[in-house]
Amino acid sequence: DQQVKQNSPSLSVQEGRISILNCDYTNSMFDYFLWYKKYPAEGPTFLISISSIKDKNEDGRFTVFLNKSAKHLSLHIVPSQPGDSAVYFCAASRNTNAGKSTFGDGTTLTVKP
Amino acid sequence: NAGVTQTPKFRILKIGQSMTLQCAQDMNHNYMYWYRQDPGMGLKLIYYSVGAGITDKGEVPNGYNVSRSTTEDFPLRLELAAPSQTSVYFCASSYSGQGGSQPQHFGDGTRLSIL
């Protein structure tokens, strides 16, 4: 039973356009949702997060939207840049769980110049 | 500031051999984690630790052991390596305050092949 799902293995967008990466979850007890970015041969790095009590969090070109009723979140990147090409992981965690996160399988974003 | 350091970066083992993957962090984080990532998949939690002397199993602990004698170090031991353990292993750490809101800081991984 995969609690965090990223149903699109890959996404390709043109430079300057919007990239939208999606994530669905099944456990309504999650308190936080985090997005990580991963380049080849490197470890994931934290990008942005959102608390379950909010519906939007913005940081520069990156915005995460949370729809609790649909158990769905999305990461918007505007405008997309070639350097954004990477694998993006959605993760979910609970306050009471020793900081453990459950990760999705990732979406590979390619931004074409 | 080095962050999370993993050694070695690459290793090839024969079936039945044993080895220890090293992980060290210099951020004074209480929480540490070991994950494995198989091709096209997400990160699966192997073991985690909430502080020195305290470890617990994650989602896929079979075939692995850990220890946490200091805050800084969290080695992962593979006993009797099997081809199914071929994977990329990531170590991570996080601050213990405010529970699930704290992002994890990852090392660059150890790519392990069992032949």
Buried b (16+ CB within 10 A) or exposed e, B87-113: bbbbbbbbbeeebbbbbbbbbbbbbbe
Interface test with A, best of B102, B108, B110 (most A CBs within 10 A): B102
| pLDDT score recorded for residue B1 | 66
Q: Is the pLDDT of residue B99 over 70?
A: no
Q: Is the per-residue pLDDT at A58 higher than 70?
A: yes
A30: chain B residues, CB-CB within 8 Å: 100
Cα nearest neighbour of B38 on chain A: A105
pLDDT tens-digit readout, A59-101: 999 999 999 999 999 999 999 999 999 999 999 999 877 788 9
- Examine the pLDDT at B82 and tell me if it is beyond 90: yes
Encode pLDDT of A3-47 as tens digits: 999 999 999 999 999 999 999 999 999 999 999 999 999 999 999
Q: Do B100 and A34 form a contact (C-beta atoms < 8 A)? A: no
| pLDDT band at residue A104 under the 50/70/90 scheme | very high
Please state, in angstroms and rounded to a whole number, the distance separating the CA atoms of residues B39 and B57. Answer: 22
By C-alpha distance, the chain A residue nearest B90 is: A43
**Contact: A93, B43; criterion CB under 8 Å:** no
Rounded Cα distance between A108 and A21, Å, is: 9
Percentages helix, strand, coil for chain A (3-state, rounded to 5) are: 5, 55, 45
Q: Which residues fall within 8 angstroms of residue A3, CB to CB, at 6 or more apart?
A: A25, A26, A27, A92, A102
pLDDT mean across residues, chain B: 94
Partner-chain residue, chosen from A42, A104, A106, that has the shortest CB–CB distance to B108: A42
pLDDT tens track for B23-46: 999 999 999 999 999 988 899 999
pLDDT of the residue at B48: 95
State the Cα–Cα distance between residues B34 and B56, nearest whole angstrom: 11
> Has residue A102 got a pLDDT over 90?
yes
Cβ distance B58 to A100 less than 8 Å, yes or no, reads: yes
For the four alpha carbons of B56, B108, B112 and A103, in that order, the dihedral sign comes to: positive
Within an 8 Å CB–CB cutoff, is residue A95 touching chain B?
A: yes
- What is the mean predicted confidence (pLDDT) over B5-25? 97
Which positions ≥6 away from A69 have C-beta within 8 Å? none
Return the residue of A nearest to B97 by Cα.
Answer: A99
